[in-house]
Structure 1
């Protein structure tokens, strides 16, 4: 496993809220050797205002940044970029955290309004009963639940489509 430097990014200096830095597991192809492997990446996020999160994810692909209204949303934007098949052909760069499970989405009002570092487990046809730490490493039994951003979106649409007639593609 490779690790990334612990230096804080320039945008975190002098912020109103303290930055948070966590190691996260990444899976993908080593740019130098072409070998698929697990890497130890690092995510840094900071609440810039009470409604805005700035996040950077560091890995063998360099640094990817995003601004979102929650930790989940900022991570989702970075994952969306890393999962772009036109930029990164398979195997994709996978961020192996609970916030990347295909059955997880940040609804907000249930568990974590701001900064959105927890997200709900959405099982279509069932009420929300569980939440996860968005940046916590996937446990071995969770690994099959990992999903692409589009799989997460489809699960979320199916979940909420059961509660709102006409929601989604059929509406």
Structure 2
């Protein structure tokens, strides 16, 4: 309930100029703690640092579900994350039927325990077809903190929130978890 309150009064995940309802996802993922290899040390790495988890996340990931909370705020499929080896990302998604995107840098903060910890520093949003640092008087520069797992089925399971308003999640739940499968 606390999460819903924050999402009700604050921008959800990434700023966009769109508003309105969206499609809901019928997929109800089964979320479980999956064991994956880790380096057993607290780390702050980007993919180019050579950490095994950092290497595995590089590529394009197509969303299977965005979770119920994002659906309530007009976010819908198709959605795709692209993680690059230089520590940058692009998140493409649909909101209220319109395609848009956000980009910035990511840091894998901790791989010593599962779920792994990740931070995003969003720097730009796609607004009216152009990458901008602000739109409609709101900045695109937003820090997020989250968790993720890479399971044995080749899936990326993640949830993240705006750092200023919601603490880093500690576990996955059906309402806010996003699930992606690697396509490249």
TM-score, with length taken from structure 1: 0.31
The structure where helix makes up a greater share of residues is 1
| Higher RCO, Cα 8 Å, sep 6+ | 2
Higher strand share: 2
